[in-house]
Amino acid sequence: DVVDASREVPVLVDFWAPWCGPCRQLTPLLEKAVRAAKGAVKLVKMNIDEHPQIPGQMGVQSIPAVFAFQDGRPVDGFMGALPESRIKSFIARLIGDESADAAADLDEADEALAAGGANTAAQAFAEALQKDAENERAAAGLAKCYIKTGDLTRAEQTLALVPPAKADSAAVASARASLELARKAANAGDAESLRAKLAANPNDSQ
């Protein structure tokens, strides 16, 4: 199932156990990512309680642990429950799918931005733009990073670099809407004074 099969396509071995909480988080994401790869990679799940000798041979010290086999031998792996974007990126690198790898990197940047890591996300979006100057999703993401840090001018300049043919994409439209909202917020005045006005006159919602 693993060594022989890996001579045809890469095989992921998921070391898990029924009592392992992080395993229950990781396994469904792994299965989803493998299904999305449409046969380019296989998944084998190994319950370490039923096969205690194999994890020791592989040097597995904690679970979940995932090893990638190719041409009959382990070539890569990771430990712990990774987010979905990192799993996609891992599989994309394994099967040599550069476009999927780039998309996974952008997913990761989106997650970083949503978690408040504007600087980390901006670096990832900028790197994606260096590889592909017409990547509208990367440009939109970088613009959102500038909006997050209050640099609306650079956000607008970044969106202006998007090729006209891609200017109506969902990612760019979302960034433009965020920019417009940020401009309105900047012109609306101090938030505390607005709250005070509303407290004084609850009918003044405008």
Closest CA to 105 of 91, 120, 122, 125: 125
Q: Which two tokens stand for residue 202?
A: 């609850």
- Burial call 144-168: b when 16+ CB within 10 Å, e when fewer: bbbbbeeebeebbebbeebeeeeee
Closest CA to 100 of 118, 116, 84: 84
| Active-site pick, 23, 34, 65, 102 | 23
Closest CA to 134 of 93, 95, 101, 162: 162
Q: State yes or no: is 20 an active-site residue.
A: yes
Q: What's at 138, amino acid-wise?
A: A
Q: Give the strands of the sheet with 65-70, arranged side by side.
A: 42-47, 11-16, 65-70, 73-79
Please count the other Cβ atoms lying within 10 Å of the Cβ belonging to residue 101. Answer: 17
Please count the other Cβ atoms lying within 10 Å of the Cβ belonging to residue 175. Answer: 27
Residue with tokens 């670099």: 161
| Active-site pick, 11, 12, 13, 20 | 20
Q: Give the catalytic positions in this structure.
A: 20, 23
